[in-house]
Chain A
Amino acid sequence: MTTTARPGEDSVPRPGGPAGPPAASLTPHRQKGTVTRPGLRRKRTREALTFYAFISPWLFGFIVFTAIPMIASLVLAFTNWDSFQPPVFIGIANFVKMFTQDPLFWQALVHTLYFTVVSVPLSLLIALGLAQLLSRPMRGARFFRTIVYIPALVPLVAGAMIFKWLFAPDSGPVNGFLALFGIKGPAWLLDPHWVIPGIILLSLWQVGAGTILLIAALQGIPPELYEAARIDGASRFQQFWRLSVPLVTPILFFNLITGMISAFQVFSQVYVLTDGTSGPDNASLMMVPYVYDSAFRNYNMGYASALAWVLFLIIMALSAIVLRSSRAWVFYETEVRR
């Protein structure tokens, strides 16, 4: 057993295996105290080299465009830098200011949380509902799937421009529709209480991408499972809730994580809908627009870096919590089979 390699760790890395230097790192304990054949070792070295050669374009991009800027911004977070003159080290003053003296930071944080907590679950629910409707064989299914997906193809800025017009107080179709039911619609983007709901509606308009993934997942469920459920007397709702939903939880989980991260980083919607003012009177100020304003309007690159790092840590922490919770509710078929 010690001298023969398992099939899996032969020269060819398994497809879909964990990324990282193969063979060499997979079995470190194995090499200790055992006599490896010289040919195998050379093979492994060559293999590792090939591996690094293949990932080098990505690695290069990551180091130059992500890692170095991130480290730089971490350093800058502890400085006062206007981007023109040399940065001045000021310790944790940026963070002290952020948490104790800057009401705009708290506003931006609360608004961003509000936007995320409402828009992400809502868009998951809507995407799941649409997917359930559109995954069945019916006339025109392809047509409707296309319609649902089209908004995801429209550039965000163009979509936001359309929404500005839709939300017009008196002449806009949204309030025109509400007026049919005798409801006097709010001034939406001009009203401090309605501007974030307006931005949430814009984000819901773009559930198409998540819907497509869920349709694929729903259609991938073997029909015999439904057949068995029907024989056992499960109702339509029970089939959906006890069979379909658990089997698509991996996709729901993926949509939740990616949706949450991008909701925290919302920028274009706010920028276009409010003409870059985060108005009215900062009622729609979110974290990334605030980072942008600090860096490029107020020329405070150090403070902007500190804000960006706080945002990054918040996203990391929430992602970790969601990842952890996934053990309780995300269901992988392969785990059961084992």
Chain B
Amino acid sequence: MKGKKSLFALGVAGAMIVALTGCSSGTSADTPSGTSADTSSGSSAGSSSGTSGGTSGGTDEHVDLTMTIWGSDVDKKVYTERLALAQKALPNITVKLVQISDNYDTKLQTMIAGGQSPDVIMTAEAVNVLSSKGQLEDLGPALQKRGIDPVATFGEGSVKTYSTSGHLWGVPDRAGAMVLYYNKDLFDKAGVAYPDGTWDWQQFRDAAKKLTVSANGKTTTWGYAAGDWWPWYMTWMYQNGGRILDDNGKPVVNSPENVEALTFYNDMVLKDHSAPSPQDYADAGLKNGQPDPLFAQGKLAMETTGFWNIASLSDATFKWGVAPLWHGKDKAVPAFGSALAVSSQSKHKEAAEDLVAFLTSDEGETPIATSGLDIPSNLKLLKSDTFLKAPWNKGGIDLGAFTDSAESIYSPPLVPEWNQIQKAFTDGMDATWKGQASVADGLSKVQSTLEGIFK
């Protein structure tokens, strides 16, 4: 009797162990979001496409690749469409798409550390974290071999963003030049002419002042809004000829150009009150530098943001438009795009390169343009009616603003220490943004922090 009982207990325990291990392997790093999708059943009817050899052991063989992307279900849908096109062009490659909806870089880092690196990696600001650790393939030779000239195809700014010393670590996939969104109703009310990309700093500042409305000492409508995010503050620096790191990689944050640039911007906040301060953001229930909701509520006349904002303005009750940014001494436009990279741990690099080359071709990027997901990086597609007259653009937004801005994109210093640079600005400029310290003091603080990092 007793023996039977303990045997039963053993059995139960055993079953629990099996359940536990089964469970743990099911939720391990290879499917971090649990929303992976097999994009095709995967036929192995291979036809040799001329790119034979490589580590995949011949393209006739069937190859399974994994690709990680971030974003929402809309992103996933568009990428699934793109992979379906790839399936037709490269029938011997089957791609498993893994969508990681949040903490992308952290989860990717964990996958790679666990030896489960995806073959094709969507990447952006973290590109050189990966490249400096030897995790990415140089795609320059791969593109050359396939007869693709990166600069001619994607533009210099985009290519430079993902390159270090002549190596191309990611092929630009989504270009994402940021533009000036403006509320036409507020402009009409204030009697200010719409922006058209020709404004200089002073014209911009004057317009912002005229567009600001306040009642009882409280601002109800702001002319412009920005805050603690690099595309906002670095753009002023780059437009004024300033830089974060010089050509030798040494920090040059507190240069006179940069002090002048950020003083100009901060005066709009502290003197003109035409842009919200950190406290104004907190009072609006927003974090420092979150202008999108203000714009959507009609409380903001102008903001610099990316293509993604179009979707959130679809039910706006006011008329709005987009225009290229103003300019300083130089034209400089921030971009927030992404690239496709190939892992150096991939067992099928040749096939992965084939896939990346196809996905970034005008054909492979077409779903990005037709769905209205983002701006395609491929200049041919960007200038074509497929994008400019896309069916989703019923409101007749002037998408040319994005096309025109593509050539002025500047590349921020996407060094491996990029996160630390941003943190240094967040910490060092905190008192400055609040008006408790001068711009020069703030930038000196950032400079000394960066000097500690880039010894």
* Partner-B contacts on A (CB < 8 A): 11, 43, 46-47, 49-50, 53-54, 56-57, 60-61, 64, 82-85, 164-165, 167-172, 187, 189-190, 275, 277, 279-282, 293, 296-299, 301
User: Which residues of chain B are near A82, meaning CB under 8 Å?
Assistant: 133
A129 to chain B: closest CB distance in Å?
Answer: 32
Whether B50 is near chain A, meaning CB under 8 Å from some CB there, is no
Cα A11 to Cα B135 with chains together (Å): 58
Do B20 and A170 touch across chains, with their CB atoms under 8 A apart?
Answer: no
On whether A50 and B6 interact (CB within 8 A), knowing A168-B285, A298-B419, the answer reads: yes
User: Which residues of chain A are near B109, meaning CB under 8 Å?
Assistant: 83-84, 296, 299
Whether B16 is near chain A, meaning CB under 8 Å from some CB there, is yes
Q: Which of B10, B21, B426 contacts A50 (CB 8 A)?
A: B10
Whether B310 is near chain A, meaning CB under 8 Å from some CB there, is no
Interface size class of B (residues with CB under 8 A): 35 or more
A49 to chain B: closest CB distance in Å?
Answer: 7
Do A299 and B16 touch across chains, with their CB atoms under 8 A apart?
Answer: no
Cα A64 to Cα B417 with chains together (Å): 33
Whether B428 is near chain A, meaning CB under 8 Å from some CB there, is yes
User: Which residues of chain A are near B279, meaning CB under 8 Å?
Assistant: 169-170, 187, 190
Offer 26 A-B interface pairs, CB within 8 angstroms, sorted by A.
A43-B2, A47-B6, A50-B9, A50-B10, A53-B12, A56-B17, A57-B13, A57-B20, A60-B20, A60-B21, A82-B133, A83-B110, A85-B134, A189-B282, A190-B278, A277-B423, A277-B427, A280-B430, A280-B431, A281-B427, A296-B105, A296-B109, A298-B417, A298-B419, A298-B420, A299-B109
On whether A296 and B106 interact (CB within 8 A), knowing A190-B282, A277-B423, the answer reads: yes
On whether A281 and B431 interact (CB within 8 A), knowing A84-B133, A190-B282, the answer reads: yes
Do A53 and B430 touch across chains, with their CB atoms under 8 A apart?
Answer: no
User: Which residues of chain A are near B21, meaning CB under 8 Å?
Assistant: 60
* Partner-A contacts on B (CB < 8 A): 2-3, 5-6, 9-10, 12-14, 16-17, 20-21, 24, 105-106, 109-110, 112-113, 129-130, 133-135, 278-279, 282-285, 287-288, 416-417, 419-420, 423, 426-428, 430-431, 434
Do B282 and A281 touch across chains, with their CB atoms under 8 A apart?
Answer: no
Q: 6 smallest A-B Cβ distances: which pairs?
A: A84-B133, A53-B13, A50-B6, A57-B16, A83-B113, A171-B283
Q: Which of B16, B134, B135, B285 contacts A164 (CB 8 A)?
A: B285
User: Which residues of chain B are near A281, meaning CB under 8 Å?
Assistant: 427-428, 430-431
* Residue of chain B at shortest CB distance from A81: B113
User: Which residues of chain A are near B112, meaning CB under 8 Å?
Assistant: 83-84
User: Which residues of chain A are near B419, meaning CB under 8 Å?
Assistant: 297-298
A105 to chain B: closest CB distance in Å?
Answer: 14
Q: Which of A43, A54, A277, A297 contacts B13 (CB 8 A)?
A: A54
* Residue of chain B at shortest CB distance from A50: B6
A195 to chain B: closest CB distance in Å?
Answer: 11
Where chain B touches its partner, the secondary structure class is helix
Cα A187 to Cα B133 with chains together (Å): 42
Do B20 and A53 touch across chains, with their CB atoms under 8 A apart?
Answer: no
Do B282 and A168 touch across chains, with their CB atoms under 8 A apart?
Answer: yes
Cα A297 to Cα B418 with chains together (Å): 9
Do B282 and A275 touch across chains, with their CB atoms under 8 A apart?
Answer: no
On whether A49 and B282 interact (CB within 8 A), knowing A57-B13, A64-B24, A85-B133, the answer reads: no
Cα A47 to Cα B288 with chains together (Å): 62
Q: Which of A56, A57, A169, A297 contacts B282 (CB 8 A)?
A: A169
* Residue of chain B at shortest CB distance from A298: B420
On whether A84 and B113 interact (CB within 8 A), knowing A56-B17, A281-B428, A297-B423, the answer reads: yes
Cα A43 to Cα B2 with chains together (Å): 9
Cα A301 to Cα B278 with chains together (Å): 33
Cα A232 to Cα B182 with chains together (Å): 80
Cα A282 to Cα B428 with chains together (Å): 10
